[in-house]
């Protein structure tokens, strides 16, 4: 016979101890969460500056992809125009040969080779000497030209198709780089929003102080590197106070390389769009003491930032998101070399 003994219930003392232990654990967890230190204003600023630097790296890659997209689009358009013109020329040549064939037919006989051409692809029989022997010199010349035009068109169509594939890949890369920049900027903004109103005001005050320092920058007796460097630098000076916006190339907002390329364009000089490409656009100068006003200055090992040398250890540049075009010390970032355009 099965036993129906009742399970032993835990004693009141044990339940009380367990309840008390659980309550204590919850309380300790709550206290630990409350005691977790909030990052200071300086710590947040350090993280935000790092995110802005990463965003600028991604921005220059975005600029490179955008520049490549523009170049590829121009090449595709040119090839498609070439194909269209070639097709028109081919149609004209075919129409001309058709007119000859009509005349032969009306005069009592259609040349067998022309008849063959009109009923199939000329590539099929132009390689056969017997067909060429039956043609007159003008017809031979016309058919040869048509064949050549067809081959050229086929090659141009193939090239255009390849360029279209490259263009599609570049557009995809462009979207990826844009999202990367936006992610970094959004993370930076989230960190800034975690600060108190007082701390955000303090950071804003620091930026205002940097702008005031820029207005008082002493450029010494700076000598321009050349007439065009002087013109580009003067154009850059006219944009002091203009906001930094990633991917922007003026005239109402700039990123770092957008600022320098725009300024040189005002001097009638075309330079590449990205900082890495600008690093190879002229003669490199590795000693700061040899820099002259209007020289480009390249920063960071991966060359993701560029500005103008202004003189007396100062640079003129578009620093980063949240700032404006201004003067700053050349020592604020890791200098790599100058570039004389």
Residues 66, 64: Cα–Cα separation, whole Å: 5
From the list 305, 320, 326, 340, the catalytic residue is 305
- Residue 307 β-bridge partners: 297
Q: Catalytic residue at 4?
A: no
From the list 61, 239, 317, 326, the catalytic residue is 317
DSSP per residue over 204-243, as a string?
HHHHHHHHHHHHT----S--BSSHHHHHHHHHHHTTTTPB
Q: Catalytic residue at 304?
A: no
DSSP letter (8 states) at residue 180: H
From the list 143, 248, 256, 267, the catalytic residue is 256
Residues 251, 318: Cα–Cα separation, whole Å: 13
Q: Please report, for residues 40, 51, 188, 217, 283, the alpha-carbon distance to residue 46 in angstroms, rounded to integers and kept in the order given.
A: 10, 9, 10, 25, 34
DSSP letter (8 states) at residue 323: -
Among 47, 35, 36, which Cα is nearest to 191's?
47
Burial 149-174 (b: 16+ CB within 10 A, else e): bbeebeebbeebeebbeebeebbebb
Which residues form the catalytic set?
A: 256, 305, 317
């Amino acid at each position: 016979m099965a036993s129906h003994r009742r399970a032993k219930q835990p004693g009141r003392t044990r339940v009380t101890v367990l309840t008390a232990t659980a309550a204590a654990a919850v309380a300790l967890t709550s206290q630990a969460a409350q005691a977790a230190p909030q990052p200071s204003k300086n710590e947040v600023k350090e993280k935000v500056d790092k995110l802005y630097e990463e965003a600028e790296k991604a921005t220059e890659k975005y600029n490179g992809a955008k520049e490549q997209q523009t170049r590829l689009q121009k090449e595709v358009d040119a090839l498609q125009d070439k194909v269209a013109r070639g097709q028109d020329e081919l149609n004209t040549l075919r129409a001309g040969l058709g007119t000859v064939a009509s005349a032969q037919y009306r005069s009592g006989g259609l040349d067998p080779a022309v008849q063959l051409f009109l009923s199939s692809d000329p590539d099929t029989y132009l390689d056969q000497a017997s067909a060429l022997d039956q043609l007159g010199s003008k017809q031979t010349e016309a058919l040869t030209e048509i064949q050549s035009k067809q081959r050229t068109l086929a090659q141009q169509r193939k090239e255009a198709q390849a360029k279209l594939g490259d263009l599609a890949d570049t557009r995809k890369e462009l979207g990826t780089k844009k999202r990367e920049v936006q992610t970094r900027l959004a993370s930076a903004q989230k960190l800034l929003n975690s600060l108190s109103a007082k701390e955000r005001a303090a950071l804003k005050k620091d930026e205002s102080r940097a702008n005031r320092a820029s207005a008082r920058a002493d450029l010494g007796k700076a000598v321009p590197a050349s007439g065009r460097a002087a013109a580009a630098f003067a154009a850059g000076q006219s944009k002091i106070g203009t906001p930094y916006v990633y991917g922007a190339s003026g005239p109402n907002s700039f990123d770092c390389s957008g600022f320098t390329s725009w300024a040189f364009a005002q001097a009638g000089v075309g330079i590449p769009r990205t900082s890495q490409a600008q690093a190879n656009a002229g003669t490199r100068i590795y000693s700061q003491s040899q820099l002259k006003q209007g020289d480009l200055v390249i920063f960071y090992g991966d060359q993701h930032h560029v500005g103008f040398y202004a003189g007396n250890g100062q640079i003129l540049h578009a620093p980063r998101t949240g700032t404006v075009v201004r003067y700053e010390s050349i020592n604020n970032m890791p200098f790599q070399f100058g570039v004389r355009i």
